Amino acid sequence: MAADRAREIVGDDMLLMVDINGNYTVDLALESLRRIERYNIHWCEEPLPPTDVTGYGELRARSPVSLAAGASARRALADLECLVVLDAFATPTVEAADVVLLDLGLPRLDGRDVARRLRRLRGDSVLLIAVPGWGPEGDRGLTREAGFDHHLTKPVDHERLQALLARLPADEAAEER
C-alpha cells in the first residue's frame, strides 16, 4: 500500500495527505479511508466527484479521515453552478464542510462574494479561510468584512494552518467513526 510506504519515508512528524482525484463512490472511499486511517492521514482530497455534494455529506459523517475539496471542484463549478452547490451545502441534512479554504481570484467569481454567500447560508457553522496569492493589510480588512475568519497568504504556512484546524471543536460524530 502506498500510504504505508509514504509514512515510512516521511516519518511520523510530517503531514501526509492523500488525493483520490474524485474517482470513488461513497462506499469505496469509506472503505479506502478506513484502511489508511492507521497511517495518520491529515486529510483526503477529492475522494468523490466534486459535484457529489450529497455524497460528501454522507462521507463526512462516516469518514475517519478529514476531507478536502481541491482544484477540480473549482474547475467543475462555474459561477452560478457554484452557488447552487453552496445552497446544497447549506441544507440541514448536508453540512459537508467544516472548513473552506478559498482563493480570492476565482475564474468567474470573487472569493469575497463566495464567502459572503457561505456566511448567509451557513452562518458560523463553517470556518472560512482566505488563501490568496497576496496579503496587504487592506486586503485582510476586506476579507474580514466579507466574513472570512482568517487570511493566509500563499504559500500557506502549514504550521499556522494546522494550528487553526487544531482549534476546531471536536465533532461528536467523528468519535464514532
Residue 128: give its domain's CATH number.
3.40.50.2300
Beta-bridge partner residues of 127: 99
Claim to verify: residue 93 and residue 117 sit in the same structural domain? no
Lookup result for grid cell 455524497: 55
Spatial neighbors of 92 by CB under 8 A, at least 6 apart, are none
Residue 61: give its domain's CATH number.
3.20.20.120
- Total count of domains within the chain: 2
Claim to verify: residue 10 and residue 48 sit in the same structural domain? yes
Residue 35 pLDDT grade (very low, low, confident, very high; cuts 50, 70, 90): very high
Residue-wise pLDDT tens digits, 53-111: 788 888 888 999 888 765 554 444 444 344 444 444 444 333 566 778 888 876 666 78
Query: 60: domain range?
Result: 1-97
- Global pTM value: 0.56
Claim to verify: residue 5 and residue 91 sit in the same structural domain? yes
Inside any domain, residue 173: no
Claim to verify: residue 55 and residue 15 sit in the same structural domain? yes
End-to-end CA distance of the chain: 22
Nearest Cα residue to 48 out of 85, 91, 90, 7: 85
Claim to verify: residue 92 and residue 136 sit in the same structural domain? no
Residue-wise pLDDT tens digits, 147-167: 999 998 888 888 888 888 877
Q: If you average pLDDT over residues 11-29, what whole number do you get?
A: 85
Inside any domain, residue 126: yes
Q: Could you please report the per-residue DSSP string of the chain? A: -HHHHHHHHH-SSS--EEE-TT---HHHHHHHHHHHGGG---EEE-SS-TT-HHHHHHHHHH-SS-EE--HHHHHH--HHHHHHHHHHHTSTT----SEEEE-SB-SSSBHHHHHHHHHHHHGGGSEEEE--S---HHHHHHHHHHT-SEE-PSSP-HHHHHHHHHTSPPPHHHHH-
Claim to verify: residue 14 and residue 89 sit in the same structural domain? yes
Claim to verify: residue 80 and residue 128 sit in the same structural domain? no
Claim to verify: residue 108 and residue 157 sit in the same structural domain? yes
Compute the distance between CA of residue 103 and CA of residue 105 in angstroms, rounded to an integer.
6
Residue-wise pLDDT tens digits, 114-134: 888 888 877 888 888 888 877
